[in-house]
Amino acid sequence: MALPHLPSYARTPAPSNPRTVVFYVPNGIQMNGWTPASKGHDWALTPILEPLQDRGVGIDLKDDVLLVSGLRNDPAKPDGPGDHAAGTGSFLTCTHVHKSESIIKNAISMDQVAANTIGHETRFASLQLGIEGGSNNGGCDSGYSCAYSRNISWAGTSTPLNKVTDPRAVFDLMFAGYDPSATATERARRRARKQSVLDTVRRDASNLANRLDDADRRKLDEYLTGLRGMEVAIETQCTIVDRPDNTIDYQTHVKSMLDLIVLGLKCDLTRVVTFMLNNAGSNRNYAFLGVEGAHHEISHHQDDAKKLADLRTIATWEMSQFAYLLNEMKQVEEGDRNLLDHSMVFFSSEIEDGNSHRHENLPVLVAGRGAGAVTPGRHIRHQDVPIANLFTSMLNAMNVPIARFADATGALPLA
């Protein structure tokens, strides 16, 4: 158990770190419907970004997001065809991946740099989640390994971290030992039998108090009292919800996974999460939106008006899912702020536009305030700045002492 700073006893608690969530969508974005005309605080929501402010359902997130234009990921450019796999493999590593279906070469991803530094503070150093699964074997895009198309988290050069795609598996991972057959009364009885963490350290605390001066003894007592209050709050806040049902439809699947992300964060099971809405080059059908055809094929729009409209419809739905996640995080109170304020939620895709396959001017949003490291509510424009500069700043905000990540030229101001 961490202790407060006690001058008469040299122990300092671990620092508090903002949570980081990565939200990946495939096939780029219909940029004419994404990019605001103005910058600074005086910017208007574009059609794709409109779900960020839907007062009809109680969502008002415009002042909670930082829209960043002009970022590029040059290492994501492929050797010949293969922009989706190369771009997704490089999505969080900012490293040029090796083109092969059997020999995998990449680098550590931004989220895992953070997890290696702060992951010991939580039950899970990080969680890798998504909707579409699949093996890493074989090729998925023009000679590139499926490992690049199906993973954005990398522990090292040849170690992709496979994502969990079944909500029930995620739930069981988070709450090992949970008995879905137990009644609500039985679950309440089991929670009541659980000891307070303070009960397990009571003797140590008493021994420590005998070695402190009066001022530090009072500080220790105040700290333990406050810790118990926080423990009670966590027990209330992290009451286990029902285990998700076996998901059948896509929309329910996505919502279940987003709910589990919020649950994992607010229970402080982890502070680093990556989420792939779909795999690179996904050919998912969005008939439930009135869009016929496969996403990847539609993304090769060749300026066809119907395909552009369909892409805008898909991207707007994707943004509505992102807005749902943010709004749920915003409802979780933490002190005088909320979970979203204490987080950074990064949204982007492996390419800018699905037709041109550009790796410049990527669609980028950073939501939340990062515990004070980010000033949202703005649209900022840059000119050909490496996206690794943004990742450097995000890592610094998480108390990761790094001067430059990957091909960064420096840190990108976020406040």
Which DSSP string corresponds to 58-127? TEE-GGGEEEEEEEE-GGG--SSS-HHHHHHHTTTT-SPPP--SS-------HHHHHHHHHGGGSS-S-E
What pTM value is reported for the model?
0.85
Structure tokens at 116: 């290696």
Q: What is the pLDDT of residue 15?
A: 37
Query: CA-to-CA distance for 279 and 150, rounded, in angstroms?
Result: 5
Same domain, 167 and 249: yes
Q: What is the mean pLDDT of the chain?
A: 89
**Mean pLDDT, residues 78-102 taken together:** 98
Mapped onto helix, strand or coil, the DSSP state of residue 134 is: coil
Same domain, 183 and 315: no
- Judging by DSSP bridges, how do beta strands 154-156 and 159-160 pair with one another? antiparallel
Please indicate, yes or no, if residue 124 is contained in any of the structural domains: yes
Residue 131 has pLDDT above 90, yes or no: yes
Same domain, 204 and 163: no
Q: Which segment of 16-25, 207-216, 248-257 scores lowest on mean pLDDT? A: 207-216
Q: Among candidates 254, 157, 239, 248, which has minimal Cα distance to 190? A: 239
In percent, the amount of the chain with pLDDT more than 70 equals 85
Query: CA-to-CA distance for 132 and 154, rounded, in angstroms?
Result: 17
What is the number of other CB atoms lying within 10 angstroms of the CB of residue 332?
18
Structure tokens at 282: 């996904």
Kindly indicate the confidence band of residue 184, based on its pLDDT and cuts at 50, 70 and 90.
Answer: low
Same domain, 249 and 342: yes
Residue 192 has pLDDT above 60, yes or no: no
Q: What is the pLDDT of residue 176?
A: 75
Q: What is the CATH number of the domain that holds 69?
A: 3.40.720
Q: What is the pLDDT of residue 228?
A: 55
Please indicate, yes or no, if residue 222 is contained in any of the structural domains: yes
Kindly indicate the confidence band of residue 185, based on its pLDDT and cuts at 50, 70 and 90.
Answer: low
Query: CA-to-CA distance for 89 and 165, rounded, in angstroms?
Result: 18
**Mean pLDDT, residues 99-113 taken together:** 98
Residue 236 has pLDDT above 80, yes or no: no
Please indicate, yes or no, if residue 2 is contained in any of the structural domains: no
Identify the domain boundary among 239, 269, 287. Answer: 239
Please indicate, yes or no, if residue 405 is contained in any of the structural domains: no
Same domain, 185 and 106: no
Query: CA-to-CA distance for 177 and 3, rounded, in angstroms?
Result: 29
Kindly list the distances between the CA atom of residue 292 and the CA atoms of 24, 108, 252, in Å, as whole numbers in the listed order: 23, 38, 20
Please indicate, yes or no, if residue 140 is contained in any of the structural domains: yes
Structure tokens at 165: 């795609």
Same domain, 199 and 284: no
Same domain, 131 and 235: no
Identify the domain boundary among 221, 239, 257. Answer: 239
**pLDDT tens track for 33-44:** 999 999 999 999
Please indicate, yes or no, if residue 185 is contained in any of the structural domains: yes
Evaluate whether 44 touches 67 at the Cβ level (below 8 Å).
no
Same domain, 102 and 251: yes
Same domain, 113 and 33: yes
Same domain, 232 and 249: no
Q: What is the pLDDT of residue 220?
A: 76
Please indicate, yes or no, if residue 65 is contained in any of the structural domains: yes
Domain residues for 138? Answer: 19-171+242-397
**Mean pLDDT, residues 142-159 taken together:** 97
Identify the domain boundary among 187, 216, 239. Answer: 239
Please indicate, yes or no, if residue 153 is contained in any of the structural domains: yes
Q: Which segment of 124-128, 169-173, 333-337 scores lowest on mean pLDDT? A: 333-337
Same domain, 210 and 118: no
Same domain, 144 and 293: yes
Count of structural domains within the chain = 2
